[in-house]
Homo-oligomer: A and B are copies of this chain.
Amino acid sequence: MNKSETILKSSSLSVTAGRKRILDIFLDANNALAHQDIEVKCSDKYDRVTIYRTLQTFLEKGIIHNIPTTDNSVRYALCNEVCISSGHHHDNHVHFRCDNCSKTICLDDVSIPSVKLPTGYSMNEINMVVSGICKTCKKVKVPV
């Protein structure tokens, strides 16, 4: 039993070819993916609608989390073991979006600093997205 199958089972989801494929795409990716990215990688095999529904299911089960954007193309990334096993989200890391390659990645080791809200507000989740130049692009850009 491979990794994607294990994750699906432990989230009490039925194991289907489509779900396995999409989960494998996430497991292979080293950056967050938009719906569009997934569609490109497997719309020959699976319907657009199935991709929508699968992403939705994965979100609800704590298999992936979404990352807000200002360009109307939400990104999705795999959650850590804690989210998957507990069935709900415990993501507390910063996200980075590169202005050059426009890849979005999870900075798993950078945790979101706490912030004090004005009186009367109660906090549920925090999202932090930093933009700039990523490690890879910086290397390429300093040839001199």
A69-B74, A113-B115 known, 11 other contacts, Cβ within 8 Å: A68-B127, A68-B129, A94-B115, A115-B130, A119-B135, A120-B134, A120-B138, A121-B132, A122-B133, A125-B131, A126-B131
Is A122 touching B110 in the complex (CB atoms < 8 A)? Answer: no
Q: Bound complex: CA of A119 vs CA of B119, how far in Å?
A: 37
A117 within 8 A of B: yes
Copies in the complex: 2
**CA of A80 to CA of B26, assembled, Å:** 40
Q: In the complex the two chains form, is A74's CB within 8 Å of B70's CB?
A: yes
A14 is an interface residue with CB less than 8 A from chain B: no
Chain B residues closer than 8 Å to A133, beta-carbon distance = 121-122, 124
Q: Which residue of B lies closest to A133 (CB)?
A: B122
Contact between B135 and A121, CB atoms less than 8 A apart = yes
Is A45 an interface residue when CB atoms closer than 8 A count as contact?
no
Residues of B within 8 A of A70 (CB): 66-68, 74, 127
Q: Taking CB as reference atom, which chain B residue is nearest A35?
A: B72
